């Protein structure tokens, strides 16, 4: 594991130790669904109360992903980003880094597929360039006549999001809304005007009901607000759907950076004021996260990368019985993070525990002193009682 330990950014020694520990957790955890879910919840609980720590860790992670020369570890980290950190980026609305890192991770994991889809997109982009300009001109003319103060922007979607739509079927025809989206950003910060623009578009063109989403009235869990719609016949004879998002400038800035904005763009300022909306979101995230002070368990790992939650003060002997009674009864020796330890070693957060098993039962009365959990005590006592009966 030493290959992944390296200083990054201007981090304190405490942060560097923490970040390296978290990086290690990502590497050693296997990809079973239950482990991914536990790891997601673990990091969410850590970051919900201190989102600035999440943004710093993502930057740290990005450096390691880019610079790591161990191909196996790099691929492992790429997969863990897609499984664990990417959903967290979405939860905290860390959009730009999520876009970059999903593409990078996909490129690391599936380099050939990545290049094929990229080429597939490039061909379509070239073909659609004229159409995109015509759509922008048509929308510009419509909005200008109504004297809206706005910005009209278009953006090509990232390779990974296109892959999620078409998979490995490169022969599948791409629609414009598969690779490109339009945004109308209103500078007056009026939510009512967003609906006025939506009505204008729906009255002028042909809306697609299935593509309409109102995230202004009912925001996403991460605070994201915008109106989404799909239109046809914006330009003559174009019956393919065109994806359009309508939002205020404030909504747009929050959608691009979320809570990250205050720590990315103002991290050197003494005052980090947040808006009422951001304060409410922080409160909400803190409420749905488990409070660190209330967590009575210790997260550790099996030799094979399964996550095991043990009560605080649990020993290596407790761990063996937690895995399987037979493993506990036949425990011969213990390794913690590759080092030999006693049975009564108290497990700490992040420890990877390896139990070496004997061929026969090794249970002794003194083990009752080494065990902390009721379950281990019960199993040791049951074995000793049964053994005593057999002796008499």
Q: What size, in residues, is the chain?
A: 392
pLDDT of 82 > 90? The answer is yes
Q: Crossing angle, helix 33-48 and helix 13-28, to 10 degrees? A: 160
| Angle at the Cα of 264 from the Cα atoms of 260 and 265, rounded to 5 degrees | 115
The residue that leads in pLDDT, 93 or 286, is 93
Residue 62, token pair as written in the block: 């990005």
**Which residues, in sequence order, are CB contacts of 292 under 8 Å at separation 6+?**
45, 46, 49
Going by C-alpha positions, the residue among 17, 62, 13 that lies closest to residue 350 is 17
Lowest mean pLDDT among 34-43, 91-100, 342-351: 91-100
SS3 190: coil
User: Band of the pLDDT at 61, cuts 50, 70, 90?
Assistant: very high
- pLDDT class for 296, splitting at 50, 70, 90? low
Cα(47)–Cα(357) distance, integer angstroms? 38
Q: How far is CA 286 from the centre of its chain?
A: 17
What pLDDT sits at residue 5?
41
**What are the pLDDT digits (tens) for 371-384?**
999 999 999 999 99
Mean pLDDT of 44-52: 83
> Among positive and negative, which fits the CA dihedral 184, 266, 275, 87?
positive
DSSP-assigned beta bridge partners for residue 213:
228
Supply the pLDDT for residue 391. 67
Q: What is the pLDDT of residues 187-215, one digit of tens each?
A: 988 999 999 999 999 999 999 999 999 99
pLDDT of 270 > 80? The answer is: no
pLDDT of 127: 74
Q: Can you name the residues that pair with 301 across neighbouring β-strands?
A: 307, 352
Task: Determine what percent of the chain is predicted with pLDDT higher than 70.
Answer: 83
Domains recognised in the chain with CATH numbers: 2-109+265-288 (no CATH), 111-258 (3.30.460.10), 296-391 (3.10.20.30)
Rg (CA), the chain: 27
Residue 273 pLDDT grade (very low, low, confident, very high; cuts 50, 70, 90): very low
Residue 238: what pLDDT? 65
Q: What is the pLDDT of residue 294?
A: 54
Q: How confident is the model at residue 57 (pLDDT cuts 50, 70, 90)?
A: very high
Average pLDDT over residues 287-298: 65
Q: Model confidence over 220-255: pLDDT tens digits? A: 888 889 999 999 888 876 667 889 999 999 889 888
Over residues 298-329, the pLDDT tens digits come to 999 999 999 999 999 999 999 999 999 999 99
Position 1 pLDDT exceeds 50: no
pLDDT band per the 50, 70, 90 thresholds, residue 74: very high
pLDDT exceeding 90 applies to what percent of the chain?
58
Angle between helices 374-391 and 316-323 (to 10 degrees): 80
* CA 353 to chain centroid: 26
Res. 138 pLDDT band, cuts 50 70 90: very high
- What is the model's pLDDT at position 237? 66
Q: In this structure, are residues 316 and 345 in contact, taking their beta carbons and an 8 Å threshold?
A: yes
Distance CA 130, CA 111 (A): 30
Cα–Cα distance for residue pair 383/116, rounded to 1 Å: 61
d(CA 241, CA 260): 32
- Residue predicted with more confidence, 262 or 124: 124
- Work out the end-to-end distance of the chain between its first and last CA atoms, rounded to an integer number of angstroms: 51
Q: What does the pLDDT look like over 166-183, one tens digit per residue?
A: 776 655 656 656 677 899
């Amino acid at each position: 594991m030493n290959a992944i330990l390296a200083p990054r950014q201007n981090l304190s020694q405490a942060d560097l130790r923490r970040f390296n520990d978290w990086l290690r957790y990502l590497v050693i955890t296997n990809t079973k669904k239950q482990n991914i879910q536990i790891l997601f919840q673990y990091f969410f609980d850590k970051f919900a109360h201190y989102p600035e720590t999440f943004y710093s860790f993502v930057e740290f992670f990005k450096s390691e992903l880019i610079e790591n020369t161990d191909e196996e570890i790099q691929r492992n980290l790429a997969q863990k980003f897609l499984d664990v950190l990417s959903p967290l980026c979405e939860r905290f609305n860390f959009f730009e880094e999520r876009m970059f890192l999903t593409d990078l991770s996909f490129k690391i994991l599936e380099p050939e597929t990545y290049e094929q889809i990229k080429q597939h997109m490039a061909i379509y982009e070239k073909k659609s360039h004229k159409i995109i300009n015509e759509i922008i001109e048509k929308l510009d003319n419509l909005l200008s006549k109504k004297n809206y103060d706005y910005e009209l922007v278009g953006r090509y979607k990232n390779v990974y999001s296109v892959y999620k739509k078409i998979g490995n079927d490169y022969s599948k025809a791409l629609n414009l809304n598969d690779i490109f989206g339009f945004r109308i950003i209103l500078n007056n910060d009026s939510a009512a005007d967003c609906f006025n623009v939506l009505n204008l578009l729906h009255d002028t063109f042909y809306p697609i009901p299935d593509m309409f989403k109102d995230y202004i009235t009912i925001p996403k869990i991460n605070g994201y607000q915008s109106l989404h719609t799909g239109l046809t016949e914006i330009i003559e004879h174009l019956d393919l759907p065109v994806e359009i998002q309508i939002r205020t400038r404030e909504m747009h800035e929050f959608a691009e950076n979320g809570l990250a904005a205050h720590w990315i763009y103002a991290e050197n300022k003494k005052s980090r004021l947040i808006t009422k909306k951001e304060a409410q979101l922080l409160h909400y995230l803190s409420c749905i996260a488990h409070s660190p002070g209330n967590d009575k368990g210790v997260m550790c790992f099996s030799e094979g990368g399964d996550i095991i939650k043990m009560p605080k003060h649990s020993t290596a002997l407790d761990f063996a019985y937690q895995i399987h009674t037979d493993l506990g009864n036949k425990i011969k020796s213990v390794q913690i993070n590759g080092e030999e330890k006693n049975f009564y070693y108290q497990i700490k957060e992040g420890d990877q525990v390896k139990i070496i098993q004997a061929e026969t039962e090794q249970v002794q009365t003194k083990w009752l002193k080494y065990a902390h959990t009721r379950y281990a005590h019960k199993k040791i006592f049951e074995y000793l009682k049964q053994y005593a009966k057999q002796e008499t």
